[in-house]
Structures are given as structure tokens and as C-alpha cells.
Amino acid sequence: MRTPAPVTVTLVRGDITLQSVDAIVNAANSSLLGGGGVDGAIHRRGGPEILAACRELRASQYGKGLPTGQAVATTAGKLDARWVIHTVGPIYQVSGNDPSLLASCYRESLRVADELGARTVAFPAISTGVYRWPMDDAARIAVETVRNTPTAVEEVRFVLFDDRAYEAFVRQLG
């Protein structure tokens, strides 16, 4: 296999549910049955097909839910994307602030994207909302992991919902 070109990392200040990409990554929880934040926005705009696909996953290989740091794809429903890749970030303090679980969310999402043949992938700032991971540290882990993970994905787009997140990622891109 030819050595893939390094992935292009882009930053967008906006709403991840409005992105036109192959795959949109969801900051889910282990239940895969929806929630607030990005999760709520994706299910709201993506429609019931996504939840139906998540329920099927829970009824099959994810009977106990999706473990932290892992990723799984479903349809994107009405979103302008082909897939939603659901991943579960670590909760700050609870996970002993172990960066490897947060890094795993990005690495596993890229692995699933490669399995799907996705070439453009939009990520939110995983774990930086309800899961309270400090933004600068989360941005560092996100950018470092994406830059160091071999993938056939051509564009990784970090979609940041507010200035605090956007500026943290700008600082990491250097």
C-alpha cells in the first residue's frame, strides 16, 4: 500500500451537524442512546434513523454499551454525511486524567473511518463539555493523535463550537 499523504488538519468555528463530510464524529456516551451537547445535536438534526441504528448495535455486538475510547459507525440519517462515527470520551477526574483514553477516541475513529473508506472526517472537541476535560489539554491530545496516526483520511476537520475551543485548537496547530 502506498504511503498515505499526511492528513490535512483544518479548523472550523461552527456546528458539526452542518458539515458536509464523509463522516461526522459524535461525542457519545457508552449507552449510545443519545444525550446532550454534540450527541443531542447529531440525533436532533440527523433524525431517528441514527438512534435506530444505535439500538441495533446495543442489541448485538455492544450489548453492554460502547466502552470509553472505542468507536463505531452508523448511518448519518439526514446529516450531510455518509456516516456518524460514535466514540465515547473519558470523563475528566474519573478516568484518572489518563490521556491515552482520549487519544484512543481519535485513533479508533480514524481506524473506523479507514474501514469505511471515509476521506473527510469532522471531529468535535471530545470530552471538553459535559465530560469536563480541560480544553487546552484536550486540544493537544486531539491534534497530536491525529497528526501521528497513519490513515488514508485526507482531511480531519476539527469543528469548534465556541471561541474558547477554537482558540485552543489554533494554539495547538501552531
Shortest distance, position 51 Cβ to ligand APR, whole Å: 12
CB of 149 to ligand APR, least distance (A): 19
For the chain, the 3-state helix, strand and coil shares in percent, each to the nearest 5, are 40, 20, 45
Q: Are strands 120-123 and 155-160 parallel, antiparallel or unpaired?
A: parallel
Q: In sequence order, what are the beta bridge partners of 157?
A: 10, 122
Q: Give the length of the chain.
A: 174
Cβ proximity to ligand APR, 37 vs 49, nearer residue: 37
Active-site option among 39, 98, 114, 136: 39
Q: Which residue's CB is nearer to ligand APR, number 102 or number 118?
A: 102
98 counts as catalytic: no
Strand runs (DSSP E) across the chain, as ranges? 8-13, 23-28, 71-75, 83-88, 120-123, 155-160
**Shortest Cβ 139–ligand APR spacing (Å):** 10
- Whether the Cβ atoms of residue 81 and residue 21 lie closer than 8 Å to each other: yes
User: 135: which 3 cell numbers?
Assistant: 480544553
Amino acid found at 169 = F
Q: Which residue in the shown chain puts its C-beta closest to ligand APR?
A: 35
Of residues 6 and 164, the one with the C-beta less far from ligand APR? 164
Residues that bind ligand APR (CB under 6 A): 15-17, 27-29, 35-41, 89, 124-131, 159, 161-162, 165
Q: How far is the CB of 2 from ligand APR (least distance, A)?
A: 33
Which CB atom, from 17 or from 172, has the smaller least distance to ligand APR? 17
Task: Please list the active-site residues.
Answer: 39
